[in-house]
Amino acid sequence: MKTLFTTNVGSHAWSMNNKDSDIDVFSVKIASTKHILEGTEFSRSSHTGNAGSGQIDEVTHEIGKVIDELIKGNINFLIGTMSPIVLYQKDDYLHTLKQLIINYCQTKACVHSIKGLAVHNYKKYIVGSDTAREYSIPKKCNMINRTLLFGIHIMNGNGFVFAPVTRQTPQDVINMTQQFDEAVKKSSIPEETSPMPFRNFLFQLRKKELFDEL
């Protein structure tokens, strides 16, 4: 499959990295349109693996999967596509997709994903955390709150802002969750993301791949 773009989605994207930080890579590829039409290859697939030695973790998605999840408001895909750190991009496809996200994805479609991520991570890493894991609690609090703050900016109509947060505590997470809930209630942005601009983008990509124009 051909790679369309690759971004860094870890702590580097939020300017929260240190010398020991891993590099988390979000890579997007496009499957063969001919093979999809023949039924010999499935689109909308994802793969997690190691992109090299040690500290590089890569998640790869087929562009059809990315489009589906952006329409749903999946926070991981919004972050992956809108990351300020672009490691590779083919032509202007990422730029075009980012513009679509700016124009059409500032909606409440992401609320469920953001809140779900925050609650899941709070319960998993903070509530009932034993002594052996206590060293990681501030890091997990930072990760949760940077995502909640990302969502608050969307709710307030500020766009997709990668703002760093540091020295967060479990109480800060509770407070930020309440701020996020309040921002959702007050927000006047659309409830859902319009799918057609993204479906059209994908359709044009599939055609270009079919005729070897990518």
* Structural domains of the chain sorted by starting position, each given as residue range(s) with its CATH number in brackets: 2-105+195-210 (3.30.460.10), 108-186 (no CATH)
pLDDT value of residue 132:
44
Residue 131's pLDDT band, with cuts at 50, 70 and 90, is very low
Q: In whole angstroms, how far apart are CA 9 and each of 14, 53, 147, 160? A: 8, 18, 12, 13
Residue 203's pLDDT band, with cuts at 50, 70 and 90, is very high
Environment class of residue 200 by beta-carbon count within 10 Å: exposed (0-12), middle (13-18) or buried (19+)?
Answer: exposed
User: Could you give the CA distance from residue 149 to residue 162 in angstroms, rounded to a whole number?
Assistant: 9
Residue 104: pLDDT over 70: yes
Look at 3-17, 92-106, 108-122, 131-145 and tell me which has the smallest mean pLDDT. Answer: 131-145
Residue 20's pLDDT band, with cuts at 50, 70 and 90, is confident
